[in-house]
Structure 1
Amino acid sequence: MIRPVAHRLLLLRHCEAEPARGNEFGSAADQARPLTQAGHMMARRRGESMRRAGLVPDLVLCSPAMRTRQTYAGLLPFGEGARPEIRIEPTLYLAAPDELLARLRATSDSVHTILLVGHNPGLPALARYLNGVERALDSDFALGTLATFHVEVEERESIALTWKALGPRTAWLESFSQN
């Protein structure tokens, strides 16, 4: 017997960050860029909208850049009793879509909702790759954009084909919200 199992993928681009300081343009300087005041407010509004929509992740995968970590922190709290596992992973910093996909595919079958907090151009490219609905995702994600996908997978007896089966047109866009 095959029965569908619902999973949800949330792709969130970081909120507005300060520009690089002075003439520092390297990776370390870029990763150290904090959110602006407007970026902090944007993250809090995004968190409020996620709470209203009942979007509570089981797992948060976050780039190590300060702007992504501060964006995630601004979303909190998700609700009473919600304690998602958070993983700050260096490989997610400016990751290409295939790297993001590989990380998602390595997720445990017991995780039902993943929030991935990252950067352009990897997030929008991944969203376009996974999108299984007619609605197009032609543009890059503006700052603070959240794309919500419903992932329907098959479960055969005790073997669940979940995140490891993620591929082209396997996720269905539920919402696309720009701040």
Structure 2
Amino acid sequence: MKPVAHRLLLLRHAEAQPPAGGDLSATADLARPLTDEGHRLARHRGETMRRTGIVPDLVLCSPALRTRQTYAGLLPFGQNARPEIRIEPTLYLAAPDELLARLRVTPDSVHTVLLVGHNPGLPALARYLNGVETALESDFGLGTLASFRVEVEEQESIALAWKGLGPKTSWLESFSQN
């Protein structure tokens, strides 16, 4: 059967302000807003996505203020684009295996997923999906966007995409830093 293409977008949040008063607690970290430069970069990412016609069906976003503001800076995707957005606490500073587990329960009717999160989980997941550790040696700088094409084979009229997500099912399409 003919493969069906799905796309996974991994986006690290844009530049955030340092924690107020040097407070290193999770509560203070979750509340860190974007800097002016961070807002500019998020808007730039959104403009690039609109130019290239990338519109997510589903947005999975960490609850941190900086990730939510990064996502908001991408908008609007288009006139009729209405992606479902899920703010999920488990995505905050999630390890790559946790991110992968979350992606694998995505319904296959969803063709494009945008995951907005943090280092070090996002670059580790990208390296795993790319299947070649050295191909993505660079860490995800602030605002980095990696796009993967996820191959899906239809078997008996059932397309299984996200459940089998892994290095031999996904291919790096683009990697954009600043």
Range class of TM-score, shorter chain: over 0.9
State the partner residue of 1:102. Answer: 101
- Residue 160 of structure 1 deviates from its aligned partner by 1.5
CA change 1:5–1:132 in 2 (3 A) is: farther
The alignment status of 1:18 with 2:34, answered yes or no, reads no
Deviations 1:87-133, CA, capped at 9 Å, x for gaps: 00000000000000000000001000000000000000000000157
**Partners of 1:30 and 1:174 in 2: CA distance:** 32
Counterparts of 1:108-119 in structure 2, within 5 Å, are: 108-119=107-118
After TM superposition, list the pairs within 5 Å mapping 1:61-80 onto structure 2.
61-80=60-79
Letter in 2 for 1:93: Y
> Could you say which residue in structure 1 is the equivalent of 2:87?
88
Q: 2:28 is matched with which residue?
A: 29
Distance in 1 separating the partners of 2:69 and 2:137: 27
The residue number in structure 2 matching 1:164 is 163
Counterpart of 1:147?
146
For 1:49, give the aligned amino acid. Answer: T
Please, which runs of 5 or more residues in structure 1 have no aligned partner?
none
Q: 1:63, 1:118 within 8 Å by CA — same for their partners in 2?
A: yes
SS at match of 1:12: strand
Secondary structure of the 1:99 match is: helix
What is aligned with 1:177? 176
Query: Which letter maps to 1:56?
Result: V
Q: State the 1:157 CA deviation.
A: 2.3
Q: In structure 2, what residue type is equivalent to 1:45?
A: H
Contact 2:127–2:133 (Cα < 8 Å) also in 1: no
* SS of residue paired to 2:124: helix
TM-score (norm 1): 0.96
In the alignment, which residue of structure 2 is the partner of 1:50?
Answer: 49
* TM-score, length-scaled by structure 2: 0.97
What count of residue pairs does the alignment treat as equivalent?
Answer: 178
Rounded to whole Å, the distance in 2 between the matches of 1:131 and 1:125 is: 10
Partner Cα distance (1:173, 1:101) in 2:
16
In structure 1, give the amino acid aligned to 2:58.
Answer: L
Aligned equivalents of 1:58, 1:160: Cα separation in 2: 17
Structure 1 position 139, deviation (Å): 1.5
